[in-house]
Amino acid sequence: MGINSVQANGDSSTGMNISQAVSHNVSLQDAMASRNHHDLRRDFDLMGSEQSSELLQSQSSNLSNSEMLLSVSNLTAEFFPLIENCTRNVSNHNQLSGFLDEAVFEQINLMGLCMEGLDKMLEEHDSDSGLSINSSSNSPESPISSEMSSCRSFCEDEGAVGYSIKAEHVSWDGVEGATGGSKVCCSQYNERSPVCAYSVHHDHTYNLPSNQNISTFPPSDVKWEEEDIKTNWSEDIDLTQDERRVRALRIPFSVSEIVNMPVEAFLDLVSKYDLTDAQVTLIRDIRRRGKNKVAAQNCRKRKIDIITNLESDVEKLRMQKDKLMKERCQQSRSISTMKEKLNALYKDVFSRLRDDEGRPVNPSQYALQCNSDGSVIVMPHKLLAMKQKSDKRKKEKKR
């Protein structure tokens, strides 16, 4: 296999393969995302839309020879079986086209929007690689392109919320999911709890009727290659249940986009696109739960912060209390010392005092009275008590 075998498919699938090859090569850093892009292309082409062929052909025709050579020559051996797989599916094109009705073509148009956005994203994301995809879909005059840019703008607005290019990859491979992976997943749904058997996280229930859980597109009687389903199964293991549900209902937006887009864009999405009740219910649920998940995380962080701060406050107050207790003990000791000194001084003074007849003064009958002017007089206890009472009365009268 090589360049020749890729180019040998001279129909509309050629453009798809080369475009895929470029996309795949450009985003090889993220192998999973590339695979999803590839599958998205395949899914898109399977729908039999002339739009898709034209779009893809124009993309491939806009590639310069050097770009094409570089892209194709860099393909890994892993990629070629995918191309084979892809062309095999494309060969079913005519069979599938019989299933398509107008509603399906609406879906195809929706997919077209996604494809354009994906190409733009790949071009922007991989600008460092030195490759450029001069896709006509990126032309500013394309109405579809402007639609997609509006879709993407609300995602970029939410960068602070954790939105990333990586999430975009997840988002757009979400579009392709209804090929094989969703069939596997949907087969595990039940009425109350549409949960896949390989549940990774929690079992979240929805109020969707069981018949709404399964997408009406592609037609249920389309048979997929066994190998194809296995491939998609292995990829789906890494997806969240919501991402699988988004795939299953063919919603052209990723979980992160649904959650993070501003309310205006979200309402616009709900009204602008002709979404089914099941799709609207799902994206509203995803948005509500996504918002609440972040809120719960913030709430818990806040709670931990509050507890941490309170523990810090408790520790500070404990230290302050210890300090005050020490100060109190020190003051008490100081007061005791001063009382002892005062008593000693009192005794010393009385031991030296003598009455008019030269006899010692009895401290149980007399007391020392210190006046405000600094003078000290010896008074009988009774007289001192009377004087204190009269002083008290004078103070009360002054008030």
Could you list the residues that contact DNA (CB under 7 A)? 199-206, 242, 263, 266-267, 285, 287-293, 295-300, 302-303
From residue 90, alpha-carbon distances to 44, 105, 292 in Å are: 10, 17, 42
Between 303 and 341, CB nearer to DNA: 303
Backbone torsions φ then ψ of 392, nearest 5 degrees: -65, -40
Between 200 and 377, CB nearer to DNA: 200
Between 299 and 317, CB nearer to DNA: 299
State the nearest-atom distance from the C-beta of 272 to DNA, in Å. 14
State the nearest-atom distance from the C-beta of 254 to DNA, in Å. 15
Q: Are 56 and 9 in contact (CB under 8 A)?
A: no
Burial class (CB in 10 A: 0-12, 13-18, 19+), 207: exposed
Is 73 in a helix, a strand, or coil? helix
Between 207 and 372, CB nearer to DNA: 207
Task: Enumerate the H helices of 139-199 as residue ranges.
Answer: 143-157, 165-176, 181-186
Q: How many CB atoms are located within 10 Å of the residue 33 CB? A: 25
State the nearest-atom distance from the C-beta of 233 to DNA, in Å. 18
State the nearest-atom distance from the C-beta of 208 to DNA, in Å. 11
Between 203 and 238, CB nearer to DNA: 203
> What are 198's two structure tokens?
């390989």
Cα(376)–Cα(370) distance, integer angstroms = 5
Cα(244)–Cα(223) distance, integer angstroms = 20
Between 190 and 199, CB nearer to DNA: 199
**Residues 214, 151, 96, 84, Cα dihedral to 10°:** -110
State the nearest-atom distance from the C-beta of 160 to DNA, in Å. 11
State the nearest-atom distance from the C-beta of 156 to DNA, in Å. 17
State the nearest-atom distance from the C-beta of 192 to DNA, in Å. 12
State the nearest-atom distance from the C-beta of 106 to DNA, in Å. 23
Cα(224)–Cα(180) distance, integer angstroms = 7
Between 93 and 289, CB nearer to DNA: 289
* C-alpha R_g of the chain: 43
Between 45 and 242, CB nearer to DNA: 242
State the nearest-atom distance from the C-beta of 207 to DNA, in Å. 9
From residue 25, alpha-carbon distances to 2, 17, 110 in Å are: 14, 12, 25
Q: Are 125 and 165 in contact (CB under 8 A)?
A: yes
State the nearest-atom distance from the C-beta of 331 to DNA, in Å. 42
From residue 13, alpha-carbon distances to 80, 87, 97, 387 in Å are: 14, 7, 15, 120
Between 96 and 167, CB nearer to DNA: 167
Between 88 and 291, CB nearer to DNA: 291
Q: Are 248 and 214 in contact (CB under 8 A)?
A: yes
Residue 42 CB partners (closer than 8 Å, separation 6+): 16, 20, 85, 86, 89, 90, 176, 179
Cα(226)–Cα(211) distance, integer angstroms = 25
